[in-house]
Every structure is written in structure tokens, then in C-alpha cells.
Amino acid sequence: QRWEMEKQAAIQGGGEARVEKQHAKGKLTARERIMVMLDPGTFHELDMIKSSLEPGAIPGEGVVTGRGKIDGKDVYVYSQDFTVNGGTLSEAHGEKIMKVMNMAWESRVPIIGIQDSGGANIKKSVSSLAAYASIFNLNVKYSGSIPQISVICGPCAGGAVYSPGLTDFTFMVSETSFLFLTGPEVVRQALSEEVTFEGLGGAAVHARKSGVVHRACKDDVDALRQARNLLSFLPPSFEQPVPRVSTQDPVDRVDEALNRIIPEDSNTPYNMLNIVERIVDDGNFFEIQPEWAKSIIVGFGRFNGITTGIVANQPMHLAGVLDIDASCKAARFVRFCDAFNIPIVTLVDVPGFLPGSGMEHAGIIRHGSKLLYAYAEATVPKVSIITRKSYGGSHCCMSSKQLGDMGQTNYAYPGAEISVMGAKGAVQVLFQDALKKDKTGELRKKLEDEYQLEHCNAFMAAQRGYIDAIIEPKETRKIICSDLENLIRKKAGAFRLPMKKHDNLPL
């Protein structure tokens, strides 16, 4: 009888009035979120009545934990309950979270954290901080071993922000969720700056400006369903093979429209997403961080049912240049794919790194090195296709042949331009004295045309073996599917890196 009473108390959480208040804000309760996230009838709750045992403690300690299934595959989940002490983290609360994190690792399955908390429990003081640090330690310990997903459905402030910051992917609900180290009141007192919760740490800020979250979602249900969709692309752990699903999309499908997407004028922009969506299975592409660092596209698609990470320059934004944010965005994505044995397809149209003192002073050399480093250390199958421009150092960084190994193939479209720099810049450097006497501009045009013909093309790269072939755009999908089918069969030992304690990525 006592067990049933405690169970009912845990289910009720903070009580009917607080639940109604939660609903009035457009938010689901902790348990409702789990029901949306998991397959119906699969949730198995753990530590339902665990509490601090102190007078007035509510069974469950403000967090619901357990395991269930998503699309029939096992996951572990915890969901913070804002109706109980504002979802604040106590020692017992932290212990429940750490338990399911450890169980997820032991079972080699993903862990999903649904955040809705006021932060550390002030009354618990140091024990709350210790619990947070212990959770962060597990985030780091299991990084690259099992997928870790965060869904921010309410406030997440102070030290609490570091767990989502350490996880692989973070989804955030617009208008009802906030993510910041110090709130608006502290900012006002410390800096005399007036800022709203939304302006300081809302979903739009982190999806478009900071890049902290990977997708901003319209409500709880949207966020949870998007997280479910993402997990359909991911393996349960680094030890498991990449998911493969059935598809009716022919592997040898030829798409004539691809021959017409890229403009004849190399300075005219086009939407790289049009190419991505035409080559993946059934046009299904799950973009990651679509609103941040828009000059580069990253996300998941499938080729012949095989989950594949896709990285592509986006000529529609800043001509597809690599700046600091784009480099960091792509580098982290490449490293995630490599950690979980997900093949990578790279579509290249990059005129260079963004120039200027602002970029140089902000450390573009260091941040650009991250992308080069990520591709160079990746041992997964890689297929790279230069669709148009590939200039200078950015050419090297975007999965060039020399950054790969026997597990990589490189191609170019017929009109691709591969060079140290574009014809206009090269002619200015090489013939600056002669150009001073060129009053009509005819000499400049002649020299630029000659340089373009002799040096800015894919033929020279093919002659030297820097690319494996020049291919027709319409055959892009056919070639990628064929290569991936071959490359995923190669033995992992062939790509083994030298022994070391760990690398020293230029953070």
C-alpha cells in the first residue's frame, strides 16, 4: 500500500496546480514528454520513488528516468520535472541521471536528456555542484561511445548548460526554453545591460548566432519528434554498424537535372541543397544547424539505405567561403561521423577562407585548422566531389585527396576550377607591372582567360592523380552509392591511426 501511495505521489509530481501552470505555458510535463519521445508502451521507469529522504521530499526528486524504445531500438532517457522544486538538481536528482547514463553506456545505446530545470538546488549547495560535475564527467567519458542527445524544453541556466554543451546534438524549443550561464538580472547588475530571457539565451539566439543548439523547434512535440528523427540515422554506439534501411530509390539513378543546376558563370550563386536533395535516397536530408554558419551545410542522408554524413559548401551564402563558424560547424560534424563510423560525402564549391583583419584577429588560422584536422584524422569511408570552385588552403581543408587514405575517393565535375586562387587574383599577382600599362583592360582579360584555361581546371588534378576521375553531374548518386558500397567493406585495420594517448586538436 505504501508503494502505491509513493508511486501516485511521484506521478502527480508538483501537483495539479503546477501541472496546469506548465500546460498554460504551452509546455508538456516530464512524463508527457517521455511518452511523445518513446514508442507507445515501451517506457520502463527506474527509481520512481527515489528521493533525498528529507522531510517534505517528493518521490522521484524532480526527474523521471528509465529506458524505452525509439523505432524499436533501445534508448535510455531522463526528463526533468519543473513542477517539482522547479526541476532543480539535488544530489538524489543527479544520482538518478547518472544511473541511466551509466546503464546506457553499459548497454551501448543512446542517452537522451530532456532539460527543464531552474539549475542547482540552492538549499543543497555544494552537493548540487558535485552532482553537476559528476554528470559532466560522464558526458565526457561517454562522448564518442554512445550518442548523447539534449532536448531543452524549459530553462537551463548556470552550470546546468554544460551538459547540453557537451552532448552531441541539442534541440531547443522556441519561446519557452532558455539557455544561459548568467540570467538577465545578473547581466543587468554586472554590466548595466538590459536584455530579455529570449534575447539573452532563447532558441533563436543559439540556433542563429552562437551555434550552441542544432535546431530550434516550435514546441515540445516538434523538438521531441525531431530528436526521434535524428536518432533514426544514428547507430546505437560506436561498436555497432551504421544503420541501413530499405529504399526503393535506385542506386543507379541518373538525374539529368544535375547537369543544369550549376550556372555557366562561376560567380553566379546556386543552391547546393538542390544537389544534396537530388542525390540522397528519396530526397530525405536531415540538416544540422541549418540557421548557423550558412556558408556550409552539414547533415545526414542515406545512399542505398546507408546513413551518410554530408558536408557541402553553400554558394548562396558568402559564396560558400569558410569562415570561423563554418569551419567549427563542419569540423565537429566530421568528428562525430568518424566517431560513430558514419561515411562522409563532401560536396565542394569553396573560393577560399573569408579574408579580412576581423577573421585573422579572431583566429581563423586556429579555427580553420580544426576542419583540416577533422578530415585528416577521419578513418571512415569518404567520397568528395568538387562541383565548381576549390581554391587555395580551403581546397586542402575540404577532404582533399592528400588528407585521406585508401578509404577515400575524389572526383570533380567537368567545369570544376582547382587552383591556388582564381584567375583574377592570380593575374593581378603575376602580371602587376604589365597591368599598370593596360589602359583598355584587354590585356587583363586575355591573361585571365589564359590562366583560367591552363590552371583553373580539373584536368591537371586528374593528370596528377589528385582526383580519381572527372564525372558527369547526372551520375553523382550512382557513383557515390557504388563507392560507399565498396568502401564500407574495407577492413578497419587499414585505416588505423598511430598509437598515442590522445591528439592535440587546435581547440
Q: For residues 254 and 245, give the distance between their C-alpha atoms in angstroms, rounded to a whole number.
A: 21
Q: How far is CA 17 from CA 12, 23, 38, in A?
A: 10, 10, 26
Q: Residue 237 has what DSSP assignment?
A: S
Q: For residues 278 and 283, give the distance between their C-alpha atoms in angstroms, rounded to a whole number.
A: 6
Instruction: Report pLDDT digits (tens) over 374-415.
Output: 999 999 999 999 999 999 999 999 999 998 776 799 999 999
Instruction: Report pLDDT digits (tens) over 438-460.
Output: 878 888 888 888 888 888 889 98
Residues 74/48, Cβ–Cβ less than 8 Å: no
Query: How much is the average pLDDT of 263-268?
Result: 91
Amino acid at 154: G
Give the rounded percent of residues in the chain with a pLDDT score beyond 70.
98
Residues 62/93, Cβ–Cβ less than 8 Å: yes
Query: How much is the average pLDDT of 338-361?
Result: 96
Helix, strand, coil abundance in the chain, percent, nearest 5: 45, 20, 40
> Which of 77-91, 265-279, 492-506 bottoms out in mean pLDDT, i.e. has the lowest?
492-506
* DSSP H helix total and E strand total for the chain: 21, 17
> Which of 105-109, 172-176, 494-498 bottoms out in mean pLDDT, i.e. has the lowest?
494-498
pLDDT of 198 over the 90 cut: yes
pLDDT of residue 242: 94
pLDDT of 40 over the 90 cut: yes
Instruction: Report pLDDT digits (tens) over 98-146.
Output: 999 999 999 999 999 999 998 777 777 788 899 999 999 999 999 999 9
pLDDT of residue 14: 87
Q: For residues 293 and 370, give the distance between their C-alpha atoms in angstroms, rounded to a whole number.
A: 15
Handedness of CA 49, 51, 54, 56 (dihedral sign): negative
Q: For residues 501 and 279, give the distance between their C-alpha atoms in angstroms, rounded to a whole number.
A: 39
Residues 168/129, Cβ–Cβ less than 8 Å: no
Q: For residues 128 and 135, give the distance between their C-alpha atoms in angstroms, rounded to a whole number.
A: 11
Q: Are strands 296-303 and 306-313 parallel, antiparallel or unpaired?
A: antiparallel
The residues facing 79 across adjacent strands are 64, 114
Task: Specify the higher pLDDT residue, 428 or 357.
Answer: 357
pLDDT of 361 over the 60 cut: yes
pLDDT of 496 over the 70 cut: no
Closest listed residue to residue 354, CA positions, set 317, 384, 382, 321: 321
Residues 186/199, Cβ–Cβ less than 8 Å: no
Task: Specify the higher pLDDT residue, 226 or 431.
Answer: 226
pLDDT of 93 over the 70 cut: yes
Query: How much is the average pLDDT of 281-297?
Result: 98
Residues 207/289, Cβ–Cβ less than 8 Å: yes
pLDDT category of residue 495 using cuts at 50, 70 and 90: low
Phi/psi at 95 (nearest 5 deg)?
-65, -40
Q: For residues 311 and 346, give the distance between their C-alpha atoms in angstroms, rounded to a whole number.
A: 5
Query: How much is the average pLDDT of 457-466?
Result: 91
Q: Residue 125 has what DSSP assignment?
A: T
Q: Is 99 exposed, middle or buried (0-12, 13-18, 19+ CB in 10 A)?
A: middle
Average pLDDT, the chain: 93
Angle (CA) 489-491-496 rounded to 5° is 135
Q: Which residue has the cell 552537493?
A: 127
- Predicted TM-score of the model (pTM): 0.94
Closest listed residue to residue 296, CA positions, set 368, 381, 382: 368
> Which of 233-237, 300-304, 434-438, 468-472 bottoms out in mean pLDDT, i.e. has the lowest?
434-438
pLDDT of residue 287: 98
Closest listed residue to residue 351, CA positions, set 424, 454, 421: 421
The residues facing 306 across adjacent strands are 244, 303
pLDDT of residue 156: 92
Q: For residues 166 and 326, give the distance between their C-alpha atoms in angstroms, rounded to a whole number.
A: 19
Query: How much is the average pLDDT of 231-250?
Result: 96
- Collapsing DSSP states into helix, strand and coil, what is residue 304? coil
pLDDT of 492 over the 90 cut: no
pLDDT of 75 over the 60 cut: yes
Give the rounded percent of residues in the chain with a pLDDT score beyond 90.
75
pLDDT of residue 491: 59
Q: Residue 415 has what DSSP assignment?
A: T
Q: Residue 118 has what DSSP assignment?
A: -
> Which of 259-263, 453-457, 489-493 bottoms out in mean pLDDT, i.e. has the lowest?
489-493
Instruction: Report pLDDT digits (tens) over 412-429.
Output: 999 999 998 888 888 888
Residues 480/346, Cβ–Cβ less than 8 Å: no
> Which of 112-121, 263-272, 476-485 bottoms out in mean pLDDT, i.e. has the lowest?
112-121
Instruction: Report pLDDT digits (tens) over 2-33.
Output: 888 888 888 888 899 999 999 999 999 999 99
Residues 317/271, Cβ–Cβ less than 8 Å: no
pLDDT of residue 447: 87
pLDDT of residue 494: 55
Closest listed residue to residue 167, CA positions, set 109, 212, 205, 233: 212
pLDDT of residue 373: 94
pLDDT category of residue 241 using cuts at 50, 70 and 90: very high
